[in-house]
Every structure is written in structure tokens, then in C-alpha cells.
């Protein structure tokens, strides 16, 4: 479908598959540093049957062109549920149902299964970013109205984009995550030196406990991760999801074996071994300045191993490679005592029905006040001197 916005001289196209655009053209706008917007990542999810109409993630990505030139793009999905988003709106869906309205399908701008803040509208060099954002807002609203969709949700944008969307009339939600920041540490011990004595001893005890169980860990990147390691990791991933959620996870074996494995040095895997047998793993992605902790799993539980594989090995990697930030994923108050600082994340929401839009606006304003109180309280629990 194509629509034209005369005031911007931009044309909006909605793609039902990333197969409809060459990888080089998409990446020329999205770039390749932020791993989750690479054509290889997003199309890999689609091609390995993770994001399809059948799974409730129908792609309808937005392209903006000026003439024949691609100038901006935005990931966009038609969702028939709210799984895999990490911004929870189940109560909204229930409110729609109680009012005799259908909440699904809805539109979603997000990275599937990935609660990582980053760019959501990407623009070519030299173009007016604000003009493109305004054109994107207009195009998506027109699309949603024509399709009689309930809403459009944009998750984990950068703060400046979220502010612009708020100004444009999209409600804004605040939430808290816990991230680690590299203050120029030379080593893990250098980082621990910033802790109070009691907290430092507690963390050292956790790391020592892993070694006392005879567990060793290896960190692999890119081509160092072979088929055997991918098979082992996928087995851990499935077992952990089955224990916690009763299903095998959102991601398919093909995603790990084909898509993740194709992303070179942007993939980091930590494997834990006992008696030369792999027993657990954690998978990270990285950009030039940030490490993103994404998936973890194990065949059985070991004392403190989760903290070592998913947090401490990530911190060590950041220090060794001079990355400035470690985003280990959503939720987890247990991260505070391990030196992860509470930060605010954002999402924006356009609601078609005026009555329900007013209710959502009231809810998000009250929720933001509670979130800020929570963030401040969490900051007081940090382990630093």
C-alpha cells in the first residue's frame, strides 16, 4: 500500500516482508551497529518463522521515500496478541473487551522479543529527522484508521524520540530497567573497589561459589561459536523456557543456527562447563559501545551460576572491550545489589478510540509518578560506597 503526504513530499510504503527490500538498501538507512535493526536480524526472525502472521507478528514495515530515494524506515508489525513485547498492556485489552471493542489486531513498532532501547525511526544522512518522524506518525495513523485498528504502540525508543511522540499526542509510559555503566574500569576488581565492603564480599562469595562447584566458563564470539555450541545453547534455551513458561520459547532452532550465527562479532556466547560437559549458556549481542544480554538457559540449576554467566561475565567483557554500557534485559531487582543502576525506559501509545485514549492517558500519567518513586528508591539500594 502507498500513501502520499503532500506537506512533506514523502511517500510511505508498508512492506509485508523484508524480502521485498534488498538487505543493502535497508542497512544503508538502519546501519549495522545496532544489531537488532539489521536486515539480517529482522529478516532472520521472519525467515525462521518467528515473526509471521501465524505467530501473531505480521510484518508491515514502514518505508519513507522522496522520489525514488529511501530516506527513512521504521520496523512495524501487525500484532494479534501482546506476547514478546515486555511492555504489558493486557489490562488495556481487557478494557476494550469490556467496552465491546476489539483490541487486536494492533500495530507495534518494536524489536521482537527484545526490550532494548534503541533507534526506532532510522533516517538517511542529511534529511530532516523531525520531518520524517512527523510523516511516519501521519502515515501509520492513516494506515491504522483505514484498517480499523485499535492502536499503535512504539516500544523502547530513545528519550528524544519519545518526547517528540508525546508532543505529537501519543501517550507515554515510563518503566524501569537496570543497566551497568563502565566508569573507565580497568578490571572487575577495579569495579568491585567501588562497592561497600560488605557488598563486595557478598559478590566475591558468589563468584567463588561457582568455582567451588567445579564449573568453568568460556566466552566465545563470532566464528569461535560452532554448530555444536549453537546446538548446546538452543537446548538450554528450550529447557529453561519449558520450565518457566511451559513452552519451548519464542525463537526457533533455525533462528539460532542460521540468523544469530550469521551476525559475526556482534554475537557473544558464554558457556559453562562441568567435567568438560556444557551445562549452561548465555547469549549476548553487542554494538560498538553496548552489550545486550538477551537469552540464557541451563540443563540444571547450580548455585550462583546464573549471576556469573548472565551478569559478571558480561561485565568482564565490557571492561575488556571498553564498552560503555551493559543492558542485561528487562526486570530483575536482584541486579541492583550487583551494581546495575535503575534507568527509565519509555514507550509511546496512540489509541484510536477517544474515550479509551483519555483513560490510557490518565493511567500513564499516574504510572509515571509511581515509576519515578520506584526508580529513586531503587537507587538508594545500590551497593556503592
Does the residue 333 lie in any domain? no
In a domain, 292, yes or no: yes
Q: Do 40 and 147 belong to one domain? A: yes
pLDDT at site 331? 82
Does the reported pTM lie above 0.85? Answer: yes
Helix H or strand E encompassing 30: helix 23-30
Q: Which of 290, 233, 293 is nearest to 261 (CA)?
A: 233
Asked if residue 234 is part of any domain, the answer here is yes
Specify whether the CB–CB gap between 264 and 222 falls below 8 A. yes
Query: For residue 270, which of 238, 301, 304, 233 has the smallest C-alpha distance?
Result: 233
With a CB cutoff of 8 Å and minimum separation 6, the contacts of 103 are 92, 93, 96, 97, 150, 151
Mark whether 217 and 301 lie in a shared domain. Answer: yes
Question: Could you give the strand order of the β-sheet that contains 290-298, starting from the edge strand earlier in sequence?
Answer: 57-59, 77-79, 106-109, 151-155, 341-351, 171-181, 325-327, 290-298, 277-286, 267-274, 215-221
191 and 150 in a single domain? The answer is no
165 shares a domain with 189? no
Q: What is the mean pLDDT of each run of 10 residues along the chain (385 residues)?
A: 54 98 98 98 98 98 97 98 96 95 97 98 97 97 97 98 97 98 98 98 98 98 96 94 84 96 97 96 98 93 96 98 96 94 98 96 97 97 97
Tell me, what's the pLDDT at 1? 47
Rg (CA), the chain: 22
Same domain assignment for residues 10 and 157: yes
Rounded CA-CA distance 322/288 in Å is 9
In total, the chain counts a number of residues equal to 385
- Same domain membership, residue 217 and residue 119: no
Residues 351 and 318 occupy one common structural domain:
no
Domain containing 128: what range? 2-176+343-379
Instruction: Say if residue 318 is in the same domain as residue 354.
Output: no
CATH number at residue 230: 3.40.630.30
Q: How far apart are CA 308 and CA 234, in angstroms?
A: 19
Other C-beta atoms closer than 10 Å to the C-beta of 242 total 13
For residue 158, is it within any domain? yes
Q: Residues 166, 20: one domain? A: yes
- Bridge partner list, 142: none
**Phi/psi at 305 (nearest 5 deg)?**
-65, -35
How many domains does the chain contain in total? 2
Q: Answer yes or no: is 161 within a domain.
A: yes
3-state SS of 319-340 is HHHCCCEEECCCCCHHHHHHCC
Amino acid at each position: 500500500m502507498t500513501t502520499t503526504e503532500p506537506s512533506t513530499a514523502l511517500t510511505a510504503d508498508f512492506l509485508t516482508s523484508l524480502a521485498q527490500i534488498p538487505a543493502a538498501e535497508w542497512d544503508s538507512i538502519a546501519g549495522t551497529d545496532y544489531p537488532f535493526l539489521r536486515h539480517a536480524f529482522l529478516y532472520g526472525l521472519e525467515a525462521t518463522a518467528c515473526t509471521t502472521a501465524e505467530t501473531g507478528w505480521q510484518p508491515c514495515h514502514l518505508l519513507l521515500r522522496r522520489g525514488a530515494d529511501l530516506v527513512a524506515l521504521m520496523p512495524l508489525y501487525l500484532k494479534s496478541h501482546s506476547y514478546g513485547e515486555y511492555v504489558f498492556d493486557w489490562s488495556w485489552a481487557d478494557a476494550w473487551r469490556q467496552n465491546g471493542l476489539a483490541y487486536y489486531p494492533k500495530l507495534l513498532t518494536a524489536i521482537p522479543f527484545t526490550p532494548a532501547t534503541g533507534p526506532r525511526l532510522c533516517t538517511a544522512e542529511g534529511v530532516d529527522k523531525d520531518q520524517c518522524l512527523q510523516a511516519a506518525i501521519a502515515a501509520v495513523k492513516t494506515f491504522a484508521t483505514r484498517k480499523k485498528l485499535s492502536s499503535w504502540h512504539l516500544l523502547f525508543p530513545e528519550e528524544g524520540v519519545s518526547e517528540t511522540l508525546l508532543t505529537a499526542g501519543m501517550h507515554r509510559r515510563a518503566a524501569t530497567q537496570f543497566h551497568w555503566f563502565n566508569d573507565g574500569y580497568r578490571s572487575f576488581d577495579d569495579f568491585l573497589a567501588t562497592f561497600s565492603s560488605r557488598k563486595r564480599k557478598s559478590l566475591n562469595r558468589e563468584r567463588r561459589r561457582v568455582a567451588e562447584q567445579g564449573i568453568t566458563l568460556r566466552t566465545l564470539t563470532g566464528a569461535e561459536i560452532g554448530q555444536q555450541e549453537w546446538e548446546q545453547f538452543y537446548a538450554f534455551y528450550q529447557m529453561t523456557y519449558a520450565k518457566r513458561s511451559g513452552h519451548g520459547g519464542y525463537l526457533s532452532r533455525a533462528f539460532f543456527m542460521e540468523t544469530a550465527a550469521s551476525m559475526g562479532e556482534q554475537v557473544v556466547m558464554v558457556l559453562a562447563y562441568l567435567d568438560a560437559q556444557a551445562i549452561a549458556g548465555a547469549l549476548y549481542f553487542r554494538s560498538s559501545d553496548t552489550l545486550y544480554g538477551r537469552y540464557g538457559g541451563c540443563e540444571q540449576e547450580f548455585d550462583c551460576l546464573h549471576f556469573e554467566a548472565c551478569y559478571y561475565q558480561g561485565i568482564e567483557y565490557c571492561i575488556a572491550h571498553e564498552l560503555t554500557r551493559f543492558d542485561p534485559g528487562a526486570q530483575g531487582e536482584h541486579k541492583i545489589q550487583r551494581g546495575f543502576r535503575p534507568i527509565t525506559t519509555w514507550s509511546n501509545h496512540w489509541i484510536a478510540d477517544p474515550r479509551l485514549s483519555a483513560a490510557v492517558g490518565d493511567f500513564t500519567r499516574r504510572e509515571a509518578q509511581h515509576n519515578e518513586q520506584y526508580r529513586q528508591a531503587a537507587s538508594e539500594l545500590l551497593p556503592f560506597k
